[in-house]
Amino acid sequence: MGHVKVTLVALALALAGSGCNSIVGVDVVFADAAADASGDAARPRDAGRDVGSGSGSSTRDATVDSARDAASEGGSSAGSSSWGSSAGSSGSSAGSSGSGGGSSSGSNASSSGGSCSGRDAGLDAGPTPPSCSPGGAGMTNCGGGCESCCTTLDVVANGPFDRTYTSGADGGPTGGADPATVSSFKLDKYLVTVGRFRQFVAAWDGSSGLDGGPGYEPSPGSGKHTHLNGGLGLALGPNVDAGQRYESGWLASDDDSINPTTYNLISNCTTTTNATTWTKVAGTQENLPINCVDWAEAYAFCIWDGGFLPTEAEWEYAAAGGSKELEYPWGATPPGADSGLAIFGCYYPTGQGDGSAGGCTGVANIAPVGAPTAGAGLWGHLDMAGEMYEWNLDWFRATYLTPWNDCAYLSDAGASNRLIRGGYFGGPEARILPTYRAGADPRNNNRRDFIGLRCARVP
C-alpha cells in the first residue's frame, strides 16, 4: 500500500449513548515503509529548516522540564510505579532524562545483562510483571543502568485536549479541534523489549519449547480498562445501539492470530531493511524493541503482562503532554541527526542517514529502548517519537468522534486497519509528531519491522 491521503467529508450519524457521538472530518494518512523511503513534504513552518543537532533549548522545552521536575518532587504527575521502579527512581528519571539539553548516544543502554541480574533494585514491593520476573538483559537493564524495563509511569488527567492541532512559530498549539478526555492511567516507560517478549513466547509455547504452542492464551473478556465505568471499561464508539456499549476485552476468535514463532518473527516479517530484532536464542539484541508482532500478539502480550493496549486517545494524550498539546513529546526543540531526542530518519547510530527509510541498512539503525533520554515526554516516557510505531487498541477510522470521553473505536465495521502511532527508526520527522495518525492491517501474520508495542495499565 502506498502513501495515500484520505479526506472524508463530515458525516452525520444518529448515535445514542454517553460521550461518543457526532462524527467530524479529519485528514488521515496511511503509512508504510515504501512511502517513508521517499519522505514527507515539510510542514509549512518547517520549510527550509535544516536538521540540526537537536541539543538546543526553548522556552517551551524548559516549561516541560519544570513540569517534570515538579511532578518528580511532588510525586503526583511523574508518579511512582506499582512495579517497575520505585517512586524515587522513576520519578527522578522523568525529571533528569527529559532535560532537553542533555546528550544521548545509542551506547548508553547496554544490550547485555551485565550486573543487572535477578530482581531490579529499583522495584518496589509490588508484583513484578511476568515479562521482567526472570531478570537480565532486556528486563532489568533499561535506561542506561539497572532500571526495570517494566517501569510504568502515571499519566495524570489534566482536562480535555485537542487531538488535532498544529504548532505555531513559537511551538505553541494552534488550530485545535476534535477534543477528547481521558482518565488517568499508567503507561509503560519503555517499548517492549526483545528480552521481555521472549518470556511471553515461552509462556505461549508452554512446555514444548518447539514453537508449538499454545500454552498461554488470554481469557475471553480480559484486557479491559477495568478502572473505567464501574469495571465495564471503555465506552464504545461509534455507538449504533439503543444504549451505551462498552469494550468486550479479548475475543476468543483472536486466539488463532497469536503465533509468535521464530519463523514468523523473522522470516515471515515484511521488511525493507532486514531490521527484524528477534533472535531464536537470547543474544545481543535483548534491549532492542521487539518488532514484527501482529496486533493480536501485542494485545495478548499486554494482557499476559498485567495490562492492556492503550487507546489512540490515551497514547496521544501521553505523547502530547495532555492539554499542553506539545509539538514533540519533549517540547518544541526540533529533533536532530544525533539521535539525542528521537530515533528516526535512519540517523541512528552514525548521524549519517538521509532522513527517510532509504538510508537504513538494517537492525543497526534501531537503538536500545530509551536511548534518547533527552526526548522524555511530560510524564517521563521514552521513545514516544520514533524508534517503533506502536499498536493501539482502536480500529483506524478516518474521522474523529466528538465528544470523546474515555472512548475507543472497537468495531471493525468499515475499518480494515488498527491504529499505529509514533513513527519509527526509518521514518521522516513529520511522522513522529504526537498528532500523526497511521494504520496497519491487524490480520494474523501481517507483520512489519517498523511496528512494536507498549502497554498501558490501570492507575
Tens-place pLDDT, residues 309-362:
999 999 999 999 999 999 999 999 999 999 999 999 999 999 988 888 888 999
In single-letter form, the type of residue at position 3 comes to H
What is the average pLDDT across 208-215?
A: 76
Cα–Cα distance, 308 to 327 (Å, whole number): 27
Beta bridge partners of 438: 420
Task: Answer for the pair 260, 217: CB distance below 8 angstroms, yes or no.
Answer: no
Q: Is the distance from CB of 309 to CB of 455 less than 8 angstroms?
A: yes
Q: How far apart are CA 110 and CA 137, in angstroms?
A: 8
| Structural domain for 284, as ranges | 4-457
Total count of domains within the chain: 1
On average, the pLDDT of the chain sits at 78
pLDDT band at 454 (very low <50, low <70, confident <90, very high): very high
C-alpha cell at 123: 522495584
Write the CA distances from 375 to 92, 105, 204, 233, 267, integer angstroms. 15, 12, 34, 31, 32
- Is the predicted pLDDT of residue 194 greater than 90, yes or no? yes
> For residue 405, what is the domain's CATH number?
3.90.1580.10
Q: How confident is the model at residue 172 (pLDDT cuts 50, 70, 90)?
A: confident
Dist CA 419 CA 269 (whole Å): 19
Q: What mean pLDDT comes out for the span 139-164?
A: 93
**373-418 pLDDT per residue, tens:** 999 999 999 999 999 999 999 999 888 988 899 999 888 887 889 9
| pLDDT category of residue 116 using cuts at 50, 70 and 90 | low
Given pLDDT bands bounded at 50, 70 and 90, which one contains residue 95? very low
> Does residue 436 carry a pLDDT above 80?
yes
